[in-house]
Chain A
């Protein structure tokens, strides 16, 4: 009798485990059916999170929906794929199922994707936020040099710093005590570039503005992001910016009557009173154009770096507290950026210690931007994290 109870207990425990495993990871199972469009391209996209996160993945999903509408095709989504070596299985499976264009939306997919790309030269791979340099020996990767990289692998990303500069202008105008705070994920060039652009934007309308940085060492963790935001508010900041994937900083700012610049998506409703604006992405045109190119028989293997000019980078709607004058000034600056007459990283720019980085009138080159490792004057905190 006792044995039977034990068996029953074991069975129940095991079934709980099985049930849990079944529901913890999910992928939508829509097979790509080539529709009316004159294209035999089968497209798949691999997501780090879920399409509804109102953050990074959500913006990509909007772009993919755009693509489906524009070309009349159905795209297969694979959700919740961790961006580590395990993702190689996902790419391998998609390639062997006959998908011939695969988009992957996180930095960590690079190396696994390149391995699969080398094995499937007939499949086109596109790596968001990627940098081919990092796949070569010199960049810590497995391929001897650029020439050895698979020719069926491209990267895509964009100049978020342009919109960050504009959002910094809104922040610089909104602050009453000239103290801005910035909740930041990791001390890598992409994030440092954003913080510097935000700071320069704020200083362009408010020379006394300073930006204090709190590092969270995570892209996605609302609890830690909120604690970091609260510590900045406690330290006296009255406007927060962020390079994080949740709205936690906005919730913290709203609760303490401060202002907030978001990131990724137009999510005013997360913190309506705190909302100023946010740098956002519009991936639709890129996805549509690239998919068309692949359908026509070419796999773009270049490193696409979009901008406000081509519409990849945008600024979200303004909050109620952003006055008309500020909006006009920001919109005017946005036009200059689009026209190419202004770039956020234009000298004179000095770093935290007062060392000159760019002479007056000198513009930063793309290489300088992509390898940025310093903070500009006015940022409080360590650029090493």
Chain B
């Protein structure tokens, strides 16, 4: 039973979902504050290579995770300055960040090319629990960061919808003028959550590097996961709990083409299957870039709009 390919494919899907959950949560916090950061893919790549270099030179996975996360926050800081302080067009700034992050990562990655992380993050084992039919492989054979990502998502949901600062965050994204009238600084809140979002994206990129791919292969390392994460936020309606299930579903569709091949199910061309997550991403990004459609989907009402007090 536990050797069943579908059970194992489901377990792989939960693992693959880790980066998606963390990166999408990062985007969610940023967007809930009203800032649209399309630069997730660039941040993922730069934090991935940073975590590789830190882990490789120190021999410590944990230092790799910390450095990768901080680099994520640092890059998000560039976006915060451009979009909150300088009030630049957020779509253009985000796209610039993707290109900058990719170039920076390739530059930093020069010494890492062809190298493999020697100590990767390994799945935990819970003894007999890991051998329970069906749920054993799926629930009790994941690595610490995979568990952490789901816990962070649950806590994020409570924070957003059950706490005072969560209320302030949502208000900043929906109606910054009211937050401003309350005597809170919109700019400060937006910068803080953009940085925090970058931190989560950075953690996701580090996990991708240190658990999933284990070797640096330039832009192919992330393979568009940052874009899928942006789409995921749209499909989850900016809600962390829905995002968990969405991420696992996306993880499953990423794994599915190969599972179908292994099962000799060939009536659907595998190239078509591989295209599906990106097709969904394309649709979501179109929705995201049109204010009228994104409001219908439940987006924060001031998403992507710089807050200017004297224009009220």
Which residues of A come within 8 Å of B, CB atoms?
Answer: 2, 5-6, 8-10, 12-13, 16-17, 19-24, 50, 52-55, 58, 212-215, 217, 220-224, 226-228, 230-236, 246-248, 251, 255, 267, 269-271, 380-382, 385
Contact = CB atoms under 8 A, between A and B. Distances in A.
16 contacts: A9-B89, A12-B88, A13-B89, A13-B93, A16-B97, A20-B96, A20-B102, A23-B104, A213-B261, A223-B213, A223-B222, A223-B223, A228-B258, A235-B263, A247-B116, A251-B215
Question: A interface, by DSSP: helix, strand, loop or mixed?
Answer: helix
Interface stretch (B150-158, B180-188, B190-198, B266-274): B266-274
B270 A217 contact: yes
Contact of A5 (B86, B113, B225, B262): B86
Interface string B255-287: 100110111101000110010000000000000
Contacts of A50: 110, 113, 218
A270 B115 CA distance: 8
B116 A251 contact: yes
Given A24-B103, A234-B12, A13 B88 contact: yes
Contact of B104 (A20, A223, A381): A20
Contacts of B274: 217, 224
Closest 5 CB pairs of A and B: A54-B114, A231-B258, A9-B88, A9-B86, A20-B103
A54 B115 CA distance: 8
B262 A17 contact: no
Contacts of A248: 213-215
Contacts of A224: 223, 274
Interface in B234-266: 254-255, 258-259, 261-264, 266
A234 B103 contact: no
Give the most central of A24, A221, A251: most B CB within 10 Å.
Answer: A24
Contacts of B255: 227, 230-231
B148 interface: no
Contacts of B1: none
Contacts of A58: 114
A213 B217 CA distance: 23
Contacts of A267: 114, 116
A226 B213 contact: yes
B22 to A, nearest CB: 16
A133 B116 CA distance: 39
Interface in B87-106: 87-89, 92-93, 96-97, 99-104, 106
A53 B270 contact: no
Contacts of B271: 217, 385
Given A24-B106, A58-B114, A269-B116, A8 B215 contact: no
B142 to A, nearest CB: 13
Contacts of B135: none
A227 B217 contact: no
Given A52-B114, A234-B5, A246 B215 contact: yes
A21 B225 CA distance: 22
A5 B86 CA distance: 6
A52 B111 CA distance: 8
Contacts of B114: 52-55, 58, 267
Contacts of A385: 270-271
Contacts of A19: 100, 103
B212 interface: yes
B3 interface: yes
Contacts of A380: 264
B16 A227 contact: yes
A227 B251 CA distance: 10
A223 B212 contact: yes
Nearest to A269: B116
A305 B241 CA distance: 58
A202 B106 CA distance: 39
Contact of B261 (A8, A23, A215, A269): A215
A231 B73 CA distance: 34
B78 interface: yes
B223 A221 contact: yes
B8 interface: yes
A248 B212 CA distance: 9
Contacts of A236: 3, 5
B82 interface: yes
Interface in B1-19: 3, 5, 8-9, 12, 16
Given A52-B110, A246-B215, A246-B217, 14 more contacts: A8-B86, A10-B88, A12-B82, A13-B92, A16-B78, A16-B96, A20-B99, A52-B114, A213-B261, A224-B223, A234-B12, A247-B116, A251-B215, A269-B116
Contacts of A217: 270-271, 274
A228 B120 CA distance: 19
Interface string B210-238: 00111101101111010000000000000
B159 interface: no
Interface in B112-164: 113-116, 118, 120, 122
B215 A247 contact: yes
Give the most central of B16, B120, B214, B262: most A CB within 10 Å.
Answer: B262
Given A55-B114, A217-B270, A13 B82 contact: yes
Contacts of A271: 116
Contacts of A23: 103-104, 106-107
Contact of B9 (A10, A53, A222, A231): A231
A382 B265 CA distance: 10
A8 to B, nearest CB: 6
B215 A214 contact: no
A222 B215 contact: yes
Contacts of B82: 9, 12-13
Contact of B221 (A52, A222, A234, A382): A222
A24 B101 CA distance: 10
B218 to A, nearest CB: 8
Contact of B99 (A21, A270, A382): A21
